[in-house]
Amino acid sequence: MDALDTYYKNSLLANLCSDYKGRWQAARHDKESLLRLSLNQQSIPHIATFAYQGKGVTMEYIEKNFKDYINGYTVHDADNVKGYTYGLFVGDDDFMADKDVCSFMWFNGDIIVPQTKCVTLYVSNHSKANLVCDGYSHVRVYLFDESSITLDDVDEESSVIIYKYGKAASVEVGKFCLSDKVRVFDKELRL
């Protein structure tokens, strides 16, 4: 059974909503459509959690089967918001978070937020991210499972809000985090 079939089967067992089920079936055989659906902000926590629990896709599967659609590829309007951009990042590297919504899975490296950017980041699947913010950025981070994020190069004009989903998720504020606008909240994950 294919990793996507495993994910879908487990989603059905977890009472996947009928709207998502129909959208999944419509996109099933088109990689770009699947990526668009997976980067919908309601989909990201679900897919990330199922992957973490071993009920879906793996890093190797994504790197092999979606290599043309990760680490820089831009998806437009995944949430039907005109002008919004989305991206999926996997692996060990540093990436510019120049999209409006970025999902980082199995990631190890720097997430660099450009100056004056308002960005939403999803960090999951044992990721170890270091957040770097240039001036006047606003960053919202959703941190899952055993992933960690370090804020060690955040300038004083930037603000960061982090929502931690899980006791094992960790946040470290380093000595070069100059912003006093960093907030961390513990949240309960509800799929």
Q: pLDDT tens across 118-149, in order?
A: 999 999 999 999 999 988 999 999 999 999 99
Q: pLDDT tens across 171-187, in order?
A: 999 888 888 999 999 99
pLDDT mean by block of 10 residues, the chain; 191 residues = 73 70 79 90 91 90 93 92 95 96 98 96 98 93 98 92 96 88 93 73
The terminus-to-terminus CA distance of the chain in angstroms comes to 24
Q: Domain count for the chain, please give it.
A: 1
Task: Evaluate if pTM is beyond 0.85.
Answer: yes
Those residues with Cβ within 8 angstroms of residue 29's Cβ, 6 or more apart along the chain or in another chain: none
Tokens at 135, concatenated: 């001036």
Range of 23's domain? 3-187
Cβ atoms of 102 and 83 closer than 8 Å: no
Tell me, what's the pLDDT at 1? Answer: 54
